């Protein structure tokens, strides 16, 4: 069955409506809210409202008092109490301003404090789609880092799902835990842990529906990932270097994973501009045979073709685009039991006795050993 399970009668569903998941329809801004600041030069920042401490946000656009935000709706324009700073540090005669935006995982990715390289929003969307994340799923993340990907996956699996995120650096793990608490990513939605998953594993067995690895050596965690995930779970590895991809794919093939593929997401922006040639070039017309005077100046159109003028607008790509971020390797994890432990085939054929043969060696029809790259033909029935 593809899709989230329907809600059961009387089921208690947790509610997450603070921090990142604050709904602007719940009322105006109040103390403790996370606010995204969008300044007049299109730069962005964030703050947690602390009006009781007379806190203020200072910068080149002036001082913004937290008390000026409280009671106003998200999206309103807020003016600074002091004049903004001009060139060479000189005080300007104008007040600065900004828009107070309601936080989302995408906006948080743009402004969060970087402790490591983060997963960009374009990669986040592809990863969540390929991992088939929806309400109620349990997903593992190895490499919490700055928490950008954790927030994106939490939004996909909420409210009944869970993100189990692991970080091997103790300082980063504690900072991420504190940040999640302030942003409303509490347990059981997000469960942060300090653990070296490459050496110690995940401490789970057949619990996760998907797994995401953002590690320097992801191939060391493949065996632990298969142990922690359910049969046929989805797998993703985020690797900036192609050498990492090669070693990871070799390990996935060794463990007989299916549908292995590696992609790269490149974002290219287009600008819609007015087509100046549409006003210069005359519209097409059919040339009458023998009319030599107009034959050289008109655009010839065959009899069976419509007379289409040049479009008034066209899309032109920007010369610059965002460069390489990382390679995304996806696959479906295999069934974890051995070949001699498989259930009978769907058509009722009995399994051959493979107890005397090492893994990867199977008897052929003549009884001789033959090395095969895959399991015997026929889909097995997963164990209950």
pLDDT of residue 284: 59
For the chain, helix (H) and strand (E) counts, in that order, are: 9, 17
The predicted-structure confidence for 10-41, as pLDDT tens digits, reads as follows 888 888 888 899 999 989 999 999 999 999 88
What pLDDT digit, counting tens, does each position of 170-202 carry? 999 999 999 999 999 998 999 999 999 999 999
Q: Tell me, what's the pLDDT at 384?
A: 46
d(CA 127, CA 234): 10
User: In the beta sheet, which residues pair with residue 380?
Assistant: 345
Model pLDDT, residue 377:
44
What integer pLDDT is reported at residue 350 of this predicted model?
Answer: 56
pLDDT score of 111: 94
- Helix-strand-coil percent breakdown of the chain, rounded to 5? 25, 25, 50
Q: What is the mean pLDDT of each run of 10 residues along the chain (384 residues)?
A: 80 88 91 93 92 88 92 93 78 87 94 92 95 94 94 94 95 94 92 94 92 95 93 94 95 91 91 80 59 54 58 85 88 64 48 54 49 45 47
Nearest CA among 210, 247, 245 for reference residue 225: 210
DSSP 8-state secondary structure symbol assigned to residue 72: S
Distance from C-alpha of 69 to C-alpha of 82, rounded to nearest angstrom = 15
CA 372 to chain centre: 37
Query: Tell me, what's the pLDDT at 268?
Result: 85
Question: Tell me, what's the pLDDT at 38?
Answer: 95
pLDDT of residue 299: 52
């Amino acid at each position: 069955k593809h899709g989230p399970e329907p809600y059961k009668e009387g089921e208690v569903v947790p509610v997450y409506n603070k921090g990142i998941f604050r709904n602007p329809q719940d009322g105006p801004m109040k103390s403790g809210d996370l606010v995204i600041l969008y300044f007049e030069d299109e730069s962005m920042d964030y703050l947690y409202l602390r009006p009781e401490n007379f806190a203020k946000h200072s910068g080149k656009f002036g001082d913004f008092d937290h008390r000026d935000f409280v009671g106003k709706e998200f999206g309103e324009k807020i003016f600074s109490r002091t004049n903004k700073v001009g060139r060479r540090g000189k005080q300007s005669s104008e007040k600065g301003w900004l828009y107070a935006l309601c936080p989302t995982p995408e906006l948080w990715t743009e402004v969060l404090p970087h402790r490591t390289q983060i997963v960009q929003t374009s990669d986040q969307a592809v990863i969540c789609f390929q991992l088939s994340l929806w309400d109620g799923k349990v997903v593992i993340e190895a490499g919490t880092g700055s928490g950008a990907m954790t927030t994106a996956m939490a939004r996909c699996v909420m409210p009944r799902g869970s993100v189990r995120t692991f970080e091997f650096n103790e300082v980063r793990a504690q900072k991420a835990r504190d940040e999640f608490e302030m942003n409303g990513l509490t347990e059981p939605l997000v469960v942060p842990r300090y653990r070296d998953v490459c050496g110690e594993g995940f401490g789970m067995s057949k619990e996760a529906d998907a797994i995401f690895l953002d590690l320097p050596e992801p191939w060391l965690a493949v065996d632990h990932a298969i142990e922690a995930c359910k049969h046929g779970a989805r797998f993703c590895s985020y690797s900036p270097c192609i050498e990492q991809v090669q070693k990871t794919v070799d390990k996935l093939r060794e463990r007989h994973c299916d549908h292995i593929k590696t992609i790269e997401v490149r974002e290219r922006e287009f600008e819609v501009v007015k087509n100046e040639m549409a006003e210069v070039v005359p519209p097409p017309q059919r040339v009458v045979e023998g009319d030599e005077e107009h034959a050289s100046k008109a655009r010839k159109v065959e009899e069976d073709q419509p007379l289409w003028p040049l479009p008034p607008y066209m899309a032109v790509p920007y010369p610059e685009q965002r460069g390489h971020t990382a390679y995304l390797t996806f696959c479906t994890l295999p069934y974890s039991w051995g070949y001699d432990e498989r259930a009978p085939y769907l058509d009722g054929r009995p399994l051959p006795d493979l107890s005397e043969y090492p893994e990867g060696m199977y008897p052929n029809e003549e009884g001789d050993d033959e090395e095969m790259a895959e399991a015997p033909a026929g889909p097995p029935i997963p164990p209950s």
